[in-house]
Amino acid sequence: MTAAGQGNVLVSRLIHRAHAEPGWYLYAPSCALVEADRARPGTAEHLAALPGITVLDLDLPAALAVAQQETWAAAHSQYAAQPTPDRPDGAIVATTTPKRWDGEPVRVLDLNA
């Protein structure tokens, strides 16, 4: 999320596609949004205002998943990437730190390319 405020071209393209193309969605887990805002103030407000971004609430199942992990942001992101009835294939975690996700049950999009 902080990559969006740092001019990452791939993030800009993802945001544009989510806004302009039907069937493209970008999810912002609220815990990850908070962490991004702490690292780069203003990030949360900016991303939440974009029409192509869907902020995911910390509901009870997500809170229970977060309680079992080391960091709230990573746990909420991993939880959000799991398959659901709305997203049977799950979601992809777009990140500038893909190594952090090694061994985790998520698909990753490396934003460093």
Q: How far is CA 15 from the centre of its chain?
A: 12
Among the residues of 1-113, which ranges form H helices? 2-5, 9-20, 30-39, 43-49, 60-67, 72-81
The mean pLDDT of the chain is 92
Q: What pLDDT, on a 0 to 100 scale, did the predictor assign at position 21?
A: 93
Per residue in 4-24, pLDDT (tens digit) is 878 899 999 999 999 999 989
Q: What is the pTM assigned to this prediction?
A: 0.87
> Phi-psi bin for 7: left (phi > 0), alpha (psi -120 to 50), beta?
left
Q: What pLDDT, on a 0 to 100 scale, did the predictor assign at position 85?
A: 93
Q: What pLDDT, on a 0 to 100 scale, did the predictor assign at position 103?
A: 94
* Angstrom distance (rounded) from CA 49 to CA 66: 25
Instruction: Using 70 as the pLDDT threshold, list the residues of the chain that sit under it.
Output: none
Cβ atoms of residues 12 and 20 within 8 Å: no
What residues have CB less than 8 Å from 13, skipping those under 6 apart? none
Q: What pLDDT, on a 0 to 100 scale, did the predictor assign at position 40?
A: 93
Exposed e or buried b for every residue in 10-44, given b needs 16+ CB within 10 A?
A: bbeebbeebeeeeeeebbbbbbbbbbbbeebeebb
